[in-house]
Chain A
């Protein structure tokens, strides 16, 4: 088979389980950018994100036979990656690293070594990323999936293994925290009847439409 363009994700995973040595690699190639983006925004550190993605994909490779098709393959992959990130964050909290002379890293807050955004958005993107990084890990993970990556709330709930209402609450409380932190940047215009939809209008929404 199988690694052709026409194969679905489920086809590829099935082929992998049946011994096709190329199938899993093709599956990874299809989704690696989104998996990486979720990991990087969630964990906030490039090296740790790389390790988390690698560990997660190894685990998926090993345990593919356990996938029962209850969710989309991509949802399953995201779940494994996000869990790997959250595990690392928890380990970091449990075993804080010794602060370096030029900074500290003793909680779940990412170390903030993401790349620069395009020049025109640099300052805003920087403070937004910093505010995002300051959120509790569970709120950050929900916001990364829904607001940054544009996943529907229901799919984010499936990825994180919580109720839809929980995702809505985590996103809302996280946005509120960020709004307070970014008070000078986020200029409210007027009353907010209708703001409760909270649907991002940027690239995330476009990415959602493409999915």
Chain B
């Protein structure tokens, strides 16, 4: 330990262990005890350091309690009081094609923020079997109206992204429901994506595996829950990659991950990430 000139010749860590009771029942206990009895430097250090350590302990115990900030408490309350809700919006206006169907969870962020990626496959795989087969057109509604399954829109565009083009929107329609009354399903989602997906990415077609990948991306992004806008089974710099567009606490991102995304060894297998302006 440094900065202890006044304790020259004394092993302060060992002395601290002795004072803190960490040496009880060990041979070192009697060794230190003997040193304190026989060596004036150890005795002086013991008498000084022990008192200071006790005082430090007391000061630490007096640090003021710090309740959780209200905004974080509210976020957790909302996140854990209702199941996740990912719903399709069917706009009728003449908006750009890729905006015609989108996930509204980022908008209903307070309620859905943690929902999709965070809650895992248990909810998303349809724990709430009683839910009906209709996708709501509003972010409002009770928790019991959650969609039966909720996977992000996926596609297999075949696009070979580069860092310069990664932020560009997917180049083909997302695999969303064919009509407004059709429930978007993970199964259909996966089937549609499978048709044109690079074999290396086939591991990520099952929804549970994709979910693990999205979890890994969320951890790697380290800015809280992510709300996924799209998943493109594509390529990056010629290599098979899933390209995920999402919103998180640090903005909107396009993120390219390799085939090992979400696997224990692969973590997010990040190939590139760029902010979407």
Question: Which residues of A160-183 have CB atoms within 8 Å of chain B's CB atoms?
Answer: 165-166, 168-169, 171-173, 175-183
User: Counting CB contacts under 8 A, is A5 at the interface?
Assistant: no
Cα A128 to Cα B59 in complex, Å, equals 7
CB-based contact A129/B63 at 8 Å: yes
Interface SS of chain A:
helix
Q: Using CB atoms, name the residue of chain B closest to A172.
A: B20
CB-based contact B77/A180 at 8 Å: no
User: Counting CB contacts under 8 A, is A7 at the interface?
Assistant: no
A132 in contact with B13 given A57-B80, A115-B66, A196-B50 (CB within 8 Å): no
Tell me which residues across on chain B come within 8 A of A200, comparing CB atoms.
57-58, 60-62
CB-based contact A175/B119 at 8 Å: no
Chain A 129-148 interface 0/1 with B at a Cβ cutoff of 8 Å (1 = within): 10110000000000100011
CB-based contact B59/A186 at 8 Å: yes
Tell me which residues across on chain A come within 8 A of B18, comparing CB atoms.
196
Tell me which residues across on chain B come within 8 A of A179, comparing CB atoms.
49, 52-53, 55-56
User: Counting CB contacts under 8 A, is A105 at the interface?
Assistant: no
Chain B 103-140 interface 0/1 with A at a Cβ cutoff of 8 Å (1 = within): 00000000000100011101000010000000000000
Q: Using CB atoms, name the residue of chain B closest to A164.
A: B22
Return the contact of A54 from the options B63, B83, B114 (Cβ within 8 A).
B114
User: Counting CB contacts under 8 A, is B64 at the interface?
Assistant: yes
Q: Using CB atoms, name the residue of chain A closest to B121.
A: A62
User: Counting CB contacts under 8 A, is A94 at the interface?
Assistant: no
CB-based contact A168/B20 at 8 Å: yes
Total CB contacts across the A-B interface at under 8 A:
224
Question: Which residues of A1-57 have CB atoms within 8 Å of chain B's CB atoms?
Answer: 19, 21-22, 24-25, 28-29, 32-33, 35-37, 40-41, 46, 50-51, 53-55, 57
Interface residue total, chain B, C-beta cutoff 8 A = 61
Q: Using CB atoms, name the residue of chain B closest to A163.
A: B22
Tell me which residues across on chain A come within 8 A of B120, comparing CB atoms.
61-62
What's the least CB distance linking A88 to chain B, in Å? 8
User: Counting CB contacts under 8 A, is B3 at the interface?
Assistant: yes
Tell me which residues across on chain B come within 8 A of A204, comparing CB atoms.
60-63
CB-based contact B118/A62 at 8 Å: yes
CB-based contact A195/B69 at 8 Å: no
CB-based contact B62/A203 at 8 Å: yes
Return the contact of A165 from the options B22, B53, B73, B225 (Cβ within 8 A).
B22
Q: Using CB atoms, name the residue of chain B closest to A117.
A: B64
Most chain A CB atoms below 10 A, which of B15, B22, B51: B22
Return the contact of B53 from the options A36, A148, A195 (Cβ within 8 A).
A195
Return the contact of A175 from the options B53, B63, B68, B72 (Cβ within 8 A).
B53
Interface stretch among B156-164, B216-224, B232-240? Answer: B216-224
Residue ranges of B at the interface with A (Cβ–Cβ < 8 Å): 1, 3-4, 12-13, 15-22, 24, 46-69, 72-73, 75-77, 79-83, 114, 118-120, 122, 127, 143, 219, 222-225, 249
In the assembled complex, 22 residue pairs joining A and B whose CB atoms fall closer than 8 Å, in A order, are A25-B76, A28-B76, A33-B67, A35-B68, A61-B118, A118-B64, A131-B56, A148-B63, A168-B21, A176-B15, A180-B4, A188-B51, A192-B49, A195-B53, A196-B21, A200-B58, A200-B62, A202-B58, A202-B60, A202-B61, A203-B65, A204-B62
